[in-house]
Chain A
Amino acid sequence: MSMLTTTGLDLAYGDFKVLNGVTMEMSLSGLHGMIGPNGAGKSTLFAVLSGFSRQTAGKVNFAGTAFEQLSAVERARHGFGRTFQVPREFKHLSVRENLKVGARHQPGESLIKLLLAPGEVRRAEAAISERVEHTLDFLKLRAVADNLAGGLSGGQKKLLELGRVLMSDPKFILLDEPYAGVNPVLIEEISARISELNQQGIGFLIIEHNLEALNRLVDDLYVMDRGTLLAHGKPDEVLADAGVRAAYMGSH
């Protein structure tokens, strides 16, 4: 089975360890959740996994490929997608254009192909447009397809980011707080889409503070606290754990 594994992952600023020996192993086909109090190192872990921050020690392996020395661009090209805690939409592009940027194999991104192979560029563009229309329907973004992304609501931006990363054909997606600032109806909607994508074979690791929604969605939960993995298991068991409750309540 394809796995994402980390071994003894450390990230230290001077003496302060933001990540401290994070070791985990998860299937790339699963739906995994990650919780923990603010400042536990969850988003930092995402940054290290996706190559935006460099670990000070440890290893990352993605589906058999050693990841720890690869750039963020190379990791994404291996099918490792991610979204961000604060949405990073292309604000002066329309929703449609945002999705198109996500598409991977557009020869028209090369100046030479643009000049010498306009037919090839056009065919690729037609195929991408078709996928974009499908994605717009899948994420129910059709009504805002021609709006500038900068004007979307917080929840729509989260959906757009998900759609954009889907356009890049990922095997596995890190979602950083997909429900933050999203209204309850849309939360159910996003959960349903994630489940559907998971059934199509895309794996997820999801950071989320909305425990109720996360609990219903994921197969297993990782709990982080102060840079370490505190617990891992079935959601109900993990949430019943006394240590986890203490960490969340801040009573340590």
Chain B
Amino acid sequence: MVSYLATILIIMVIYILLAFSLDLQYGFTGLINFGLVGFFGVGAYTSALVTMNLGLPAWLSFPAAMLVAGLLSWPLGRIALRLRDDYLAIVTLGFSEIIRLVIVKEDWLTHGVQGISGIPRLWPNWSSSASELFLLCALITAAALTTLVMRRITQSPYGRTIQAIRDDEVAVIALGKDPSIFKTQVLVIGGAIAGLAGAFYAHYITYIVPDQFVPITTFYIWMAIIMGGVARLLGSISGAVLLVFLLEGTRFLRGYIPGVTDAGMASFQLGVIGVLLILFMRWRPQGLFGKRSAT
């Protein structure tokens, strides 16, 4: 039971980090990123490979994951920021699928579809449950630090200007400020946060395959920030918590509904979340803690 709770909390906090990443990009800056999971995946693979192939201590692989996922956002920004909002959505979605396909194909490095197993835990000499708790503590610390960084960024003149870019880019240009610099930085920071989440995921789950990094995860995080409320840190946190409760809660329902298969249950979970999203849009478009609607 403790282990199950730890698992839930770990997934929850990883989702919170991903929600921060997306909220910085979309909620605050208006960048539609449909490829979030790509940066999550890059973080996971980078941290696994750095630990296993280079033999570096596990903790060093975390900054490496942030660096690689962040840097990978930079060329994406250069290409995509010439495009208008909805094109960025398509480009990022394609980008994350390309990342996944590269991971599948480059099996000399990534072991392709077989994935990477035996990723060391954060504290390999401890028992697995102790190590898990240690990872949870490290993850919560990292999330708390990320919250501070997010606060510093968003509640500053910088945060004001990225929100102005979200509301009206043309007006920002007319004031002599170049939105593309801000947007590129936000993509890189968001990428790094997603990469950090990926590194924790890899060292927690200890086994990664390309199929764990499919677009549905990106859209889970979208659901989280929409339900929680965009452009609010509390919105990202509450949305991610609500999302995990829904995903896990519907799993328990299975015992009460006879004759449902695993696949059927997965669809049922999505259905419940879908209905909830519609109800949110109808009755509370600003989300739990948001001040404005998501669109």
Interface set of A (CB-CB < 8 Å, partner B): 50, 52, 72-74, 76-77, 81-82, 84, 88-93, 97-98, 100-102, 104, 106, 108-111, 114-115, 121, 124-125, 161, 164-165, 168
Q: Does more than half of chain B's interface fall in helix, strand or loop, or is it mixed? A: helix
Residues of chain B lying within 8 A (CB to CB) of residue A50: 174
Q: Indicate if B176 sits at the interface (CB-CB under 8 A).
A: yes
19 further A-B pairs in the complex, CB-CB below 8 A; given A89-B168, A108-B156:
A50-B174, A52-B174, A73-B173, A76-B175, A76-B176, A77-B176, A84-B170, A88-B170, A90-B168, A92-B166, A92-B292, A97-B160, A98-B164, A102-B175, A108-B158, A111-B158, A125-B157, A164-B171, A165-B174
A110 cross-chain contacts in B, Cβ below 8 A: 158
Write the chain A residue with the least CB distance to B152: A114
**Which residues of B144-171 are within 8 A (CB) of A?**
152-153, 156-158, 160-161, 163-164, 166-168, 170-171
Most buried by B among A52, A91, A102, A168: A102
Q: Which residue of A lies closest to B171 (CB)?
A: A88
- B172 nearest CB neighbor, chain A only: A101
B167 A93 Cβ-Cβ under 8 A: yes
Find the B residue at minimum CB distance from A76. Answer: B176
Do residues B176 and A109 form an inter-chain contact, with CB atoms below 8 A? no
**Known contacts A93-B163, A100-B160, A88 near B177 by CB under 8 Å:** no
Expressed in whole angstroms, the minimum distance between the Cβ of B172 and any Cβ of chain A is 7
**Which of B174, B182, B291 is the one whose CB lies under 8 Å from A72?**
B174
- CB contacts between A and B, total, < 8 Å: 89
Q: Are B177 and A73 in contact (CB under 8 A)?
A: yes
What are the 3 closest A-B residue pairs judged by CB atoms, nearest first? A76-B176, A108-B157, A88-B171
Complex contact B174–A121 (CB within 8 A): no
A90–B164 CB distance below 8 A: yes
Say whether B226 faces chain A, with CB atoms less than 8 Å apart.
Answer: no
A111 touches B153 (CB 8 A): yes
Check B160–A91 contact: CB distance below 8 A: no
Contact status A92-B152, CB under 8 Å: no
Compute how far the CA of A121 lies from the CA of B153 in the bound complex, rounded to whole angstroms.
13
On chain A, the residues within 8 Å of B291 by CB distance are 92
Q: Could you tell me if A109 and B174 are in contact, using CB atoms closer than 8 angstroms? A: no
Flag whether B185 is at the interface (Cβ < 8 A). Answer: yes
Q: Which of B156, B163, B175 contacts A165 (CB 8 A)?
A: B175
Q: Smallest CB–CB gap between A163 and chain B, Å? A: 12
The distance in angstroms between the C-alpha atoms of A91 and B165, with both chains bound, is 11
Interface residue tally on B, bucketed by range: 20 to 34
Q: Is the CB of A52 within 8 A of B170?
A: yes
User: In whole angstroms, what is the CA distance A81 to B173 when docked?
Assistant: 10
Chain B residues positioned under 8 Å from A125 (CB to CB): 157
Residues of B within 8 A of A109 (CB): 157-158, 161, 177, 182
Q: Does B178 interact with chain A (Cβ within 8 Å)?
A: yes
Q: A72's closest neighbor in chain B, by CB?
A: B173
Select from chain A the residue with minimum beta-carbon distance to B173: A72
Q: Would B176 and A168 count as touching, CB distance under 8 A?
A: yes
Query: How long is the Cα–Cα vector from A77 to B177 in the complex, in angstroms?
Result: 8
Chain A, residue nearest B182 (CB)? A109
8 Å CB contact of B163 from A73, A82, A92, A121: A92
Does any Cβ of A come within 8 Å of B136's Cβ?
no
Q: Chain A residues near B167: list those with CB within 8 A.
A: 89-93
Q: For residue B175, which residues in chain A have a CB less than 8 angstroms away from its CB?
A: 76, 81, 101-102, 104, 164-165, 168
Q: Closest CB-CB distance, B104 to chain A, in whole Å? A: 35
Q: 6 A-B Cβ contacts within 8 A?
A: A73-B173, A73-B178, A74-B176, A88-B174, A124-B157, A164-B171
Q: Write the nearest CB–CB distance from A79 to chain B, whole angstroms.
A: 9
Q: Within the assembled complex, what's the spacing in Å between the Cα atoms of A231 and B152?
A: 55
A52, B177: Cα distance in complex, Å: 14
Least CB distance, B131 to chain A, in whole angstroms? 33
* Nearest CB of chain B from residue A169's CB, rounded to whole Å: 9
Cα A91 to Cα B167 in complex, Å, equals 6
Complex contacts, B185 vs chain A, CB 8 Å: 111
Interface status of B122 (Cβ within 8 A of chain A): no
Whether B157 contacts A121 by the Cβ 8 Å rule is yes
- A47 CB to nearest B CB, Å: 10
Partner pick for A73 among B157, B176, B231, B292, CB 8 A cutoff:
B176
Q: Is B164 in contact with A101, judged by CB distance below 8 angstroms? A: yes
Instruction: Check A106–B163 contact: CB distance below 8 A.
Output: no
- Check if A82 sits within 8 Å of B174, measured CB to CB: yes
In the complex, A90→B168 CA distance in Å? Answer: 6
B220 to chain A, nearest CB (A): 25
Cβ proximity bits B36-65 to A, threshold 8 Å, 1 near / 0 not: 000000000000000000000000000000
